[in-house]
Structure formats: structure tokens, C-alpha cells
Structure 1
Amino acid sequence: MLTGWLWIGTFTGTVVTTVAALPLAALAVWALARLRIAAGGTPARAWRDSLAEVGIVYWTVPVVWMIMLPGGQAGAVPGRLQLLPLQDLLTMLADDPGAAAGQITGNLLVFAALGFFAPLRFPALASVPRVLALAAGCSVLVETAQYVLQLDRVTSADDVLLNAAGAGLAALASRRWWRTAAAAPDRTRSAPAPAR
């Protein structure tokens, strides 16, 4: 049992576990869609909402888990802050451009599923500024937790900017489906009351 917990306490273990859980995620989408259809929802809306909900959780939870994994000096060193925008990023690019590219890509992907799926599932979030604000808020929470828990990670304004930018780009990628979702509301919500 302890070995299993040690396994998901690593980047590799989290990635393997996430890939292994893909069939369960697909099953969850199917089950949620069937429940919605059985409750009278339109099939298209039921599948879209179910895919969006599971997609947000399936991607975001493991990625946030990985960035919350403690470093080698966790608890022994105080939290480190870098609140000047672009300072951390420019330093990384100057020191090791290859590693910086990986770091930038990783930060762009943290809340990408949230940015892609949230406007499809929640019409109130169907705007890029709202997605940016949501992702920035989530990122601030994660960065604050890293600092408070002394996880031997740098709490950086650049991480917040990149996390929000990634969500915004993902939202733009799903934008054409926002209108489809808004134009085809669920019958259970829009059907007129029966005549008496």
C-alpha cells in the first residue's frame, strides 16, 4: 500500500496513473451522459456537459497534484517569492533556454482543460476575460499553497501569468463550440410549462 502512495508521489507515477485512468474517465463521461439523457436532457447537451466536467477534472487534478509535489528540501527551506512579472521567466531563459521552454509549456498546460471546457459547461464563463480571471485565481491559490506549505518551490508571478495565458489560449481554441452550446439550450431548461 505504501509503495502505491510513493508511486503517485512522483511525476512519472502521476503520469502513468493518469493514463491508466483514461478508460475510467471515458466510462464516467458515458455514465453521466446516460443519466442526463434519462432525465430528459438532449443527447448533444448531455454528452457535451459530461465531457466538459470529466475533462476538467481528468486533466486539472493530476497536473495540480504534480505541481504540488514537494521538492527535495521541502519543509527545510522557507518559501521563495518572485513577485516581479517576467523576472523569473527571463532568468530561466538566460540560464537554460531548453529547460525554460519545458517550464513555459508546462505552465501553459496547467489550467488548459479548465480554459477549454469551462465555457462549454458553464455559459457564464463563455468569455476569454472570465476564463483568464478564473485561471489566474486558481493559479494564485496554488502558488499560495506552495509558499505556505514550504514545498521547496518558487512562488512566482510568472507562473500565474503563464497558467492564465494557457487557459485563455485553450478557451480560444474551444470558442466555436461556445456558440453552439448557447444556441442549443437543454430542453429541460427551455421547455414551456404544460398547459393546464
Structure 2
Amino acid sequence: MVIAAVLTLPVAALIALLLARFRSRRGHPAPRRTAVADVAVVVGTAPWIWMIFTPGTLQLVHLVPLVDLADQITLMSPGAAFVQIVGNLLVFAVLGAMLPVRSARFASLGTVAAVAATSSLTVEVLQYALRIGRVSSVDDVILNTAGAVLAALVTRRWWARR
């Protein structure tokens, strides 16, 4: 997945450049910043969503907060638990990092958390509803949201101004 994402970077850069040029011609107030943010969100989030929706073999639902996370830590090998936890933190990290950079409307941690939680909840509900053999867990929503908020904090100096 990382290799595929890296290989898309030249195409993404070209798309961001063309989008910025198009927006500039239309009089957009921040064509470059918004074009880069929009392309980054797609390139940084789409591979994770693709991976999340690949069919699995285990259809489970975990609705009690932190139980699934505790099981991952105690029952999985340390490496597998690390990959699972860090992967969930990264799913919406680019979304969380770029939303407040793109628009002042999203320039608060609460708003980033709300958008990330809603997006993550949608993914978890779809995993269950589509019956693709994946685990739907409230802990995934918590970790996805936490990752988005942490990433937003990293980009705070570049947030759009009101």
C-alpha cells in the first residue's frame, strides 16, 4: 500500500498543479493551498479505505469501547498489535491534517474530530452492512478519530485563517 501511494505522488502533484491553476483562473482566494489539501486528502486516505473494504474472513462487531483494543494488545503478537493500532491511527490522519489547512471552517480540533468520527463510523457501518467479512469496532472509530486529531495538531501552524 505504501509503495502504491508513493508511486501516485507524481500524478498527484500534477493534478494539484492543474487544479490550482484552474481555481486561480476562477478567482479562488487560496487556489494552491486548497488544491494541495484536496489532492492530499484523496491520495492519503483512498488507499486505506481500499484496504479496509477488501474482503476478509471474520465478520464481527465490537460495540464496547476499548475491549477490542485490549484484546489486540493482549492476544495478538506485539508486532501485529502495533500494526493494527498504528494503521487505525493513520486511516484518517491526512484528512485531519489537511481539513483545517484547506478551510477555516474546519480550523478547530472539535470540527476535525467530528468529521473524522463521522467518516470512521460510516466506514464501520458499511463494513458491517456490506457483509465483507471485516471486524466493525467502536475502537476503530476511536483510533481513527484520534489519528485525525493528532495529525491536525501537527499541521496547526498552516491552518487557514478565519
Normalised TM-score (structure 2):
0.92
2:6 to 4, 12, 19: 19
Which residues in structure 2 correspond to 1:5-154 (within 5 Å)?
14-41=1-28, 45-71=30-56, 73=57, 79-95=59-75, 96-154=77-135
Unaligned 5+ segments in structure 2 are none
CA-based RMSD of the aligned residues comes to 1.5
Query: Which amino acid counterpart does residue 127 of structure 1 have in structure 2?
Result: S
Report the counterpart of residue 192 of structure 1 in structure 2.
none
Cα distance in 2 for partners of 1:172, 1:15 equals 23
Query: Which amino acid counterpart does residue 93 of structure 2 have in structure 1?
Result: A
Query: How many aligned positions are there?
Result: 161
Cα distance in 2 for partners of 1:122, 1:154 equals 33
SS at match of 1:166: helix
Cα distance in 1 for partners of 2:27, 2:121 equals 39
Tell me the percent identity.
Answer: 48
Cα distance in 2 for partners of 1:98, 1:16 equals 20
Shift of residue 65, structure 1, vs aligned partner:
0.8
Shift of residue 64, structure 1, vs aligned partner:
0.6
Cα distance in 2 for partners of 1:106, 1:15 equals 12
Is 2:147 aligned against 1:166? yes
SS at match of 1:90: helix
Q: Could you report, residue by residue, the CA deviation over 1:41-87 in whole angstroms, capped at 9, with x for unpaired residues?
A: 46xx221111000000111111111111001x3xxx6x311111110
Shift of residue 39, structure 1, vs aligned partner:
3.0
Unaligned 5+ segments in structure 1 are 1-13, 184-196
Normalised TM-score (structure 1):
0.77
CA 1:41–1:137: 2 relative to 1, 3 Å: closer
